Copies of this chain bind each other. A is one copy, B any other.
């Protein structure tokens, strides 16, 4: 039976097989009959250690299963070898959102190679993020952070600037002080999408918007308004959405239940479009026969809906990879940079067609 002992913080800790014997640099040094500084130099490939000693020490370290403690190393190096993603959303939204999985996947491919880890925390709201950001920075838990879900007047920029915390903003619209930014242009794809609808002959094009406050919500709404104005078409009704399928379904109720429904609907993202189509079908409308519907994002499932969605293909994975590269460079002492990945492109599939009349 395992016995109980009391750990350094007074918590009961159960010893495990082979676990009590944490091997430290001191153990390796003792075993090798050298000083710890020699072990350190040998293992880190620093000059000034004879090949014979290096081989001997390496062998002993391996035999003892010694791996340098990141805690001791962090303390002197003043690095955490971790970067953070402090998400400004409740868990429920994160779980449904198609952006984060791709973004994190991209981030990881780069961090992994650099032997950096990603620290993830869900702060749930804008207020709690602002509360936690200084703690993260001052406690030196991470060497830098990603700023996603940038809002129009985002106070985080001022905070990371003041704290001196390396940060990369993703799709923040403008260049911001103190931080690097990576951006994927959505406007060209959005314009192409609207021209596609106009070219098909639509003149009554509605918009289901994203959650208010987000940079990309405003961007999509503006593009819709501007592009239609340029074509001399009166912008159809605007319905407030929230980037969810439920929001899309509600918008369908409202738009298709009206006296003069639109012939095309620009949805703020794919989830919204899928919800819209689902409800439209339930109401007896066919897509694209009665109404053309477009998405935005190009999530994997958008190619497998009925009908497959006309949308704009974004690249959260590539955005994540580039953001990670920028952050690592900033941490290494580089100046802030501002880069772009290739613009999001129109993907014409089967959810759009000529208007019936």
Contacts and interface: CB of A to CB of B under 8 A. Distances in A.
A249 interface: yes
A317 interface: yes
A54 B163 CA distance: 26
A286 to B, nearest CB: 10
A105 B112 contact: no
A349 B67 CA distance: 54
A161 B17 CA distance: 7
Number of this chain's copies in the complex: 2
Interface string A1-29: 00010011101111111111000000000
A3 to B, nearest CB: 11
A161 B2 CA distance: 14
A163 B65 CA distance: 10
A259 interface: no
A278 B306 contact: yes
A65 B332 CA distance: 25
Nearest to A79: B9
A161 B248 CA distance: 49
Contact of A117 (B121, B138, B163, B304): B121
Contact of A119 (B82, B91, B332): B82
Interface string A126-142: 00000000110011110
A261 B105 CA distance: 38
Contact of A95 (B12, B102, B334): B102
Nearest to A141: B70
Interface stretch (A32-40, A214-222, A269-277): A269-277
Contact of A332 (B12, B19, B135): B12
A300 interface: yes
A245 interface: yes
A238 B284 CA distance: 36
Interface string A287-313: 000000000000011011110100000
Nearest to A65: B138
A91 B117 contact: no
Nearest to A335: B14
A114 to B, nearest CB: 12
Contact of A74 (B66, B71, B100, B105): B71
A339 interface: no
A111 B119 CA distance: 12
Given A16-B164, A19-B163, 8 more contacts: A7-B333, A8-B78, A70-B139, A94-B101, A108-B121, A112-B121, A117-B120, A117-B121
Interface of A: 4, 7-9, 11-20, 65-72, 74-80, 82, 84, 91-92, 94-97, 100-102, 104-106, 108-109, 111-112, 117-124, 134-135, 138-141, 161-165, 178, 245, 248-249, 271, 274-275, 277-278, 281, 300-301, 303-306, 308, 317, 332-335
5 contacts: A8-B76, A16-B178, A69-B138, A105-B122, A118-B121
